[in-house]
Amino acid sequence: MATTQSKSAALLKTTVASRVTGKIPTTKNNAVANATAPRTKDALTLLKSDHAEAKKRFKAYEKLVKADADGEERKALADEVCAMLSVHAQIEEEIFYPAAREVLGEGADLIDEADVEHASAKALIAEIEAGSPDDMHFDARVKVLGEYIDHHVKEEHDEIFPKVQRAGMDTKAVGRALAERKAELMNEQS
């Protein structure tokens, strides 16, 4: 855990430094990461891509429910969506939100709201992961999580993303940090 936090802290420092200098500094700590990091989109494009993928999976889940698909199939897709959202929330909380707070300064109240929304989504995710399609409210929990995520995504797209762009966030550097951390988390899940 400490290693993960120190890596995240190093990535955030790199992001901050890049905002000042306009390029990612090559240091002993991040030279390997820079050399091995996949080519990435900027932070906003990466996050929007994740949002679109989540929406697509929630729609697929709705189709399974309407088709009265068996519980194993619904549970597998629900768990997949929950895992994806957990990784997405973690990279936002570790990297994007701190970078947004920095550039927004006094206007970071939107990030506080996003943190609260994440906490509520995580509670639903935990219920879904612990639950079974045989539970009376399983499908309802997945549906409510999808609606909750839609609301959260709309606020990010309409409010947070435009504000961090106007405030001068280095979205390319933050995007690299997000992509690297996301890859680490996805590998841990494998």
Residue 139 has pLDDT above 70, yes or no: yes
Instruction: Report residue 73 as tokens.
Output: 């199939």
Instruction: Report residue 70 as tokens.
Output: 């068996």
Residue 98 has pLDDT above 50, yes or no: yes
CA distances from 122 to 74, 112, 113, 149 (A): 19, 15, 14, 11
pLDDT, position 114:
95
Q: 94, 145, 140: which is closest to 117 by C-alpha?
A: 145
Are 7 and 180 spatial neighbours (Cβ–Cβ below 8 Å)? no
* Sequence-ordered list of residues with C-beta below 8 angstroms from that of 55, at least 6 positions apart, any chain: 146, 149, 150, 153
* 14: confidence class by pLDDT, cuts 50, 70, 90: very low
Residue 13 has pLDDT above 60, yes or no: no
CA distances from 20 to 25, 103, 107, 169 (A): 10, 11, 20, 10
Structural domain count, the chain: 1
**Range of the structural domain that residue 72 is part of:** 2-189
* Sequence-ordered list of residues with C-beta below 8 angstroms from that of 25, at least 6 positions apart, any chain: 14, 17, 18
* 58: confidence class by pLDDT, cuts 50, 70, 90: very high
Helices (H), 92-136: 97-104, 109-130
Are 132 and 138 spatial neighbours (Cβ–Cβ below 8 Å)? yes
What integer is the mean pLDDT of 143-156? 97
* Sequence-ordered list of residues with C-beta below 8 angstroms from that of 83, at least 6 positions apart, any chain: 189
Q: Return the half-sphere exposure (C-beta side, CA atoms, 13 A cut-off) of residue 129.
A: 13
Write out pLDDT tens, residues 113-136: 999 999 999 999 999 999 999 999
Number of CB atoms found within 10 A of residue 131's CB: 17
pLDDT, position 39:
58
Write out pLDDT tens, residues 156-169: 999 999 999 999 99
